[in-house]
Structure 1
């Protein structure tokens, strides 16, 4: 594996952690354009009448761009020889072509063809078309970190792992070839203004093995399924500052390298799609709907939109800042502009008008009007049409950006920062960067972490694995849990955070006195834990973690306190417990293997560090 991946991944995260400055300096501006876009969901364009209504509203309310969903579940709302016709169109005339109709009836709008990339299917009933891309015999379906294909997931498992349905594996070169061919066919037949990519990501950090798993194993000598299931921004910052134990430092380095491999596979597809569009006679642009929070998008979803912007392989990004109050929306979009402001990419604010009132949208657009955005995009036009006041109320109350990001220029310092970042992210060896082009201390820290890891791949990890495989090990203690969850974002207001915590505490009180978890979960929990009585996947306890030590002290039927975690508040009720016992390492579940492996690496790293310290001490004494 090339060295450049190691340094590229470290640098992209550290740029965000250490706050390298990106100063936007306003240049003389022309009058701002009133760029207003909307997503149009496929179910709102499955008849000529609906399309006529959508286009009439787009014209009346001044929408300049429509992102028209023509690929929702790996199917086609247009004519295609490669993609099966959408099952929802089975009752429409065979010659009905939603994309062609939209382009014909909306001549004043830029029509971008919106394609869901890796999301292939939803629901338990399989596709009727035996050649549908979601069927397993294509060989490109995504698996989770335990090796189970998501096509084999039950509804409960989908809920537990917060995954919408069946996904393709971003590391599948075969799927990549197929999707690029789909794009090439579409732009050859339809003169669309652009291709808009959505679900261009992994569903979460728990997913993804495929072709890159072998690449990782061959490079570092162990299976990536043994890595921690998730690392977050706090872990990376501690890693960078040398605040982790020797073992956790090695595990975090490995997890960062794995995250970079995953993100690189998604970027390969985006890059190839852009190259395909460049070859089209009418050169349609490429845009993407992205998660606005850069680090979680990168680590969890493999969505490295900053690299896409820097390389110029996307022309526009639509950060989906749908949720939370006006201040959270502003801070999320402000960060996007700061990170990508020195790149040529155009930034459109994706706002959640489908769940907010015109007054709320007015506050959000006023808050972000000075950020230098290129436009506003509402999700979604069809949802707004189903409200009494239609979309006109949103259009009348909103405030357009007062100056366009494409008219801004960056300071010399900002240009230097971005140039340095680009060099570091693409060089094979960090020593190739000139001293005056980067912060020497940062690079030395990164270099030390990577070199320590490569050394450990020779001296620590192989003997540790051999010992595990040749001896019986103690299986971790396990729990079956209910879990009530309330989401909290770091940018939420203090009032919002307190309200979410209070709801979690209220749910806890009911869990202590009322056994009806079905009602409690539906009333109080969010995301996947709202369904199936908030049943969570089996949890193996890592006694190095404070929360797990606390949970280990609870008995069946007892309820935990409210925990403040990275993504929000959790409270747990114990359904069942399982005792530890001796087993062969290969007999353990992968979740248990990860804990046993991590503990073994921690022990081995402590011994290695102590031995090196003793050698250095003896050398100083002249022995």
Structure 2
């Protein structure tokens, strides 16, 4: 499926607000009778009893689909032969049974390239992690050093193989459960992607020699490889190469899931604005995109232009927060803008 970008229309307003890219044409209202679907991102709790109550509460609250955090912090919530288990019980087996009983669409929220939080979070490091997997910035820093979020690099062959085995395992063991890709991107806090495997592959593919940082000594000058033109590693070529690493990994993971028998919905959480390195509109096999908007005021959904057209294949991602607008108000607004389906972050059940 291909996703269309929207046409420029009110760029001045977007720039003035400081929140958007070029604006777009007026939204197309939904046709009467189009069913609404509302997904909710959920992290499985520590006990099976609480997970069951949470899923039941989600259905009673009107949600039709659940994006259940299933590969996160480098661990899986099912009995995997690839990754260690995150919890003391098989949360996916339980969730699958409850979702089937309650009529919920179930999808595994797969935190693709984010494997390791900083030690300050108090979360044990996954056995899957190797420092050699970490993506590097143009200054030779890891994302742990920059943002306290440990990302692996999509160009590392072992990373690709391990992730492909995981999505294949999901498709084989739970074919009815959908695959929801998240963190399928480079960290945004700096210019990342300078992993040795990426630099080597870039050289082999283009014949260009990309400069890499030679020194990280305090006070020393640091190269910015992506902006150097000698002896030939230009910005456009390097950007295109890194974009292709993300697109290629998306294709591999979706393909391995489908080839193993997975028949659920394939979706992805993506940036709400354009990112030249996350070309999700051209990811082969992606069926639904969930751009993360998380605007603090519903009015911004009307004022800030979206970078995608209305339709059933784009589920805007919204956030519930203390003191914010009620869910019903936000849903009604987005439905009116032509989006029948919405994804919700920040919902918590009112459990006894």
TM range, normalised to the smaller chain? 0.7 to 0.9
Deviation per residue, 1:469-507 (Å, 9 max, x gap): xxxxxxxxxxxxxxxxxxxxxxxxxxxxxxxxxxxxxxx
Superposition pairs of residues 125-204 of structure 1, within 5 angstroms: 132-136=127-131, 139-150=132-143, 153=144, 157=145, 161=146, 163-204=147-188
- Rounded to whole Å, the distance in 2 between the matches of 1:224 and 1:374 is 47
Superposition pairs of residues 404-553 of structure 1, within 5 angstroms: none
Task: Identify which of 301, 304, 318 aligns with 2:279.
Answer: 304
Deviation at 1:196, TM superposition (A): 0.4
Cα contact 2:317–2:344 (8 A) shared by 1: yes
Count residues with an aligned counterpart.
Answer: 320
Superposition pairs of residues 604-619 of structure 1, within 5 angstroms: none
In structure 2, the residue matched to 1:277 is 257
Deviation per residue, 1:274-314 (Å, 9 max, x gap): 222332435222100011101xx22xxx2111222xx4x21
Larger Cα-atom Rg: 1
Task: Identify which of 325, 342, 345 aligns with 1:376.
Answer: 342
What is the aligned-residue RMSD (CA, Å)? 3.5
Task: Identify which of 107, 118, 123 aligns with 2:113.
Answer: 118
User: Please, which moves more after superposition, 201-210 or 263-272?
Assistant: 201-210
Deviation per residue, 1:371-408 (Å, 9 max, x gap): 32231111133x3547xxx9xxxxxxxxxxxxxxxxxx
- Rounded to whole Å, the distance in 2 between the matches of 1:206 and 1:285 is 32
- Rounded to whole Å, the distance in 2 between the matches of 1:285 and 1:331 is 31
Provide TM-score, normalisation by structure 1: 0.46
In structure 1, the residue matched to 2:207 is 219
Unaligned runs of 5+ in 1: 1-11, 231-246, 391-623
- Partner of 2:316: helix, strand, or coil? strand
In structure 1, the residue matched to 2:193 is 208
Cα contact 1:134–1:166 (8 A) shared by 2: no
CA distance 1:324–1:228, shift in 2 (3 Å): farther
CA distance 1:21–1:329, shift in 2 (3 Å): closer
Deviation per residue, 1:187-228 (Å, 9 max, x gap): 211233310011111112422212222344563344165447
- Rounded to whole Å, the distance in 1 between the matches of 2:255 and 2:315 is 23
In structure 2, the residue matched to 1:233 is none
In structure 2, the residue matched to 1:39 is 41
Deviation at 1:76, TM superposition (A): 1.2
- Rounded to whole Å, the distance in 2 between the matches of 1:98 and 1:25 is 40
Provide TM-score, normalisation by structure 2: 0.78
